Amino acid sequence: MTETFPTLTISKGSLKTVLKEQKQRFERMDLGVPREKLEEVEKHLQTPQAVVFSGLRRAGKSTLMAQIARKFYPQSHYFVNFEDERLVNFKVEDFNLLYEALLELFGEKKVFMFDEIQNVPDWERFVRRMIDDGFKFYLTGSNASLLSPELGTLLTGRYLPMQVLPFSFSEFLKFRGQPVALEQTLSTTEKARLKKEFNRYLQYGGIPDALKYPQVEWPQILYRDVLYRDVATRRQIKDVQALEELSFYLISNPASLFSLNRLKELLKVGSVNTIKNYVEFLQTGWLFFVVNRYAYSVRKQQIAPKKLYVIDNGLINSVAFSFSEDRGKFLENLVFLQLKRRGEDIYYYKTEKEHEVDFYLPQTKELVQVSQALGKEKTRQRELRALVEAAGELEVENLLILTEEERDSANVGGMKVAIEPVFRWLLR
């Protein structure tokens, strides 16, 4: 009889040491601001599916997992962090040894919490088997492929994907110790304070560590980690300079249209396919989001220019090359991120006369335009015209313009358009 040995490079004893240290660190973790995702998680406590959190590094996934553990499973969970360098050679075959060590250390529990699970190849096989045996899983990862259709195939209906973005404005206010309330409930002084906080949020974004430790250049560190570790190294990219130049160009042009051919010419990269792959890789690293133009023809969607948004305004402010004081771009990027938090399907739209509307939300049949200010009549008419044209073509009645300050409404050709400040809209 041939004896089989564990493939993990550390012994069970050393593995137990790692697990005990990780548990102690996890239990001491500062829980920070309660994340809004907790409400969504609570709805799925009794479901058998694994809950998969994916998002940017340092966006708060591990903290969210700690909040879930303490609130819902204080004595009934295991925790393992696969970002630990001592588990760098961990393979799917090692899960049985891991489970044995967890049982011996902490007894039998029914909830697994795995941090940065994407570091283990083929991890889905173990998770799938254990789910079928009645175990509950919470998983985090810093790669958008965890939300991909491929994962759905591997886990065949056994998982619920959830994206974790940096702080919303409401979470930002709680972090800052400021009241969270709608504008009409506030005094003049409180309104001024709220607008001041909004200006800070607009500029510095919502990455928790960047806000907690402003003396450390967290946005630049985070950007480099994603670019070189999560993209260049993981994807084995040889032309790292081309990747750097592409990413730098994109982060310096948020809320802007781009085409693959134009990027190829601009960056002097060999092929459109290379540019396409690099953009997709940067998306899986959670640096950028790409939005399609809405069209009834899938082909028209594919060939039309795309629109690009950045994961956090703080990254733009810290990393982009001499980014101009175009607050309109910052506002639009912020609105996009909030729509992503709400789980909307998001497109931009161009009318038959080529007038652009920033966001079309087919699920809620809503058109949203973002404009820094409508004080100039020419600007006001331009924004209203695009919305009303698009509404007629798409048969949409919910029309909204988000601005920095104005709160108003307009009636154009029998169509009502609401006008609202972004900071107020964010707190709904």
pLDDT over 70, % of the chain: 94
- Tens of pLDDT, residue by residue over 325-336, are 679 999 999 999
> In the predicted model, what is the mean pLDDT of the chain?
92
- Tens of pLDDT, residue by residue over 289-334, are 999 999 988 888 888 999 999 999 999 999 987 655 679 999 999 9
Q: Does domain 12-163 have CATH number 3.40.50.300?
A: yes
Which residues in 126-157 are b (16+ Cβ under 10 Å) and which e? bbbebbeeebbbbbbbbbbebbeeebeebbee
What is the C-alpha to C-alpha distance for residues 377 and 130, in angstroms, rounded to an integer? 62
Within the chain, what is the greatest distance between any pair of CA atoms?
Answer: 86
pLDDT of 234 > 50? The answer is yes
What is the C-alpha to C-alpha distance for residues 46 and 44, in angstroms, rounded to an integer? 5
- pLDDT at residue 412, as a whole number: 92
Q: Quick one: DSSP state of residue 94?
A: G
> Residues 377, 346: contact at Cβ < 8 Å?
no
What is the C-alpha to C-alpha distance for residues 232 and 250, in angstroms, rounded to an integer? 16
- pLDDT at residue 7, as a whole number: 60
pLDDT over 90, % of the chain: 80
If we measure between CA atoms, which residue out of 306, 150, 151, 311 comes closest to residue 222?
311
Contacts of residues 258-264 at CB distance under 8 Å and 24 or more positions apart, as own/partner, are: 258/305, 258/306, 258/307, 258/308, 259/305, 259/306
5's tokens = 């040995």
Residue 239 exposure: Cα atoms within 13 Å on the Cβ side: 14
339's tokens = 């729509």
- Tens of pLDDT, residue by residue over 39-90, are 999 999 999 999 999 999 889 999 999 999 999 999 999 999 999 999 999 9
Q: Is 112 helix (H, G, I), strand (E, B) or coil?
A: strand
The separation between CA 285 and the C-alpha centre of its own chain, rounded to angstroms, equals 10
pLDDT of 205 > 70? The answer is yes
With cut-offs at 50, 70 and 90, classify the pLDDT of residue 180: confident
Domains of the chain by residue range: 12-163, 169-212, 324-428
The predicted model gives 15-31 an average pLDDT of 97
Helix and strand counts by DSSP (H, E) for the chain = 18, 14
Q: Are strands 408-412 and 415-421 parallel, antiparallel or unpaired?
A: antiparallel
With cut-offs at 50, 70 and 90, classify the pLDDT of residue 428: confident
If we measure between CA atoms, which residue out of 8, 194, 169 comes closest to residue 93?
8
